[in-house]
Amino acid sequence: MPIGKFENQIDRPAAFAIAVWLLAQVAVLGLCAARVQIFSRAPAATEQITLPAMIAVQVATSALIFPHLLRSMRSTTLAMASMWPLAQLASNLSDAPASALIRAELYVSIWLIALFLWNQSLTTKFSRLLGIASAGMISIGGPILYYLQSEFAASTAHNPTGFAGYGPLAGAVSQIFSASDYGPWVELGVFSSCAAAALTLFYRSRQVIH
């Protein structure tokens, strides 16, 4: 490979990012199992929302630390392999069907692969910071915008089913509740295709330079 970022190694920043990745997911499991009221309208039996909370944390955390978490094939594989068992525990707590778990985790897996592809073309500190800001905006910003619209919009015509279209975090969570909404998959496909195209252009530009 012309760039060393595909090397199968895990350095200290990647190891730290993986530790943060695992800690965030274990924290969700612990809080929900302990029935801590994560938000004001959470059900009394908080374990019922463990799987949606787990999926949301996986997407949000990966968006904020992906330059280190997904810096090599090995660290990316480790991140993806470790999230499925934790999501399975969350599914057991939530008493969610296996189909919901598979749909949601498959969505998150493709999201991680897309971030990994984007990460290969981020070679400077500024570009990585810009990547974190962009990933955080499209993943976390969407649900925040949805919440603000639902709380403060002048119109009372609020459509709860529209939540799935508010970015990858909303799209991933929506897979738990609906198997017939293909909009989030289209959005994820566009994001992944753009990532693959950007990486292709990046390598071609390096070949021209060299």
pLDDT (tens digit per residue) in 86-98: 999 999 999 899 9
Does this model's pTM top 0.75? My answer is yes
Residue 64 pLDDT: 95
Helix, strand, coil content of the chain in percent (nearest 5):
80, 0, 20
Rounded to the nearest integer, the mean pLDDT of the chain is 85
pLDDT (tens digit per residue) in 133-145: 999 999 999 888 8
Q: Which amino acid is at 32?
A: C
Token pair recorded at residue 163: 């939540």
Q: C-alpha distances in angstroms, 143 versus 146, 154, 160, 166?
A: 5, 18, 12, 6
- What residues does each domain of the chain span? 4-209
pLDDT (tens digit per residue) in 107-162: 999 999 999 999 998 888 998 999 999 999 999 998 888 888 877 765 544 555 57
Is the CB of residue 103 less than 8 Å from the CB of residue 174?
Answer: no
Place of tokens 């968006």: 63
- Phi and psi at 205, nearest 5°, equal -65, -35
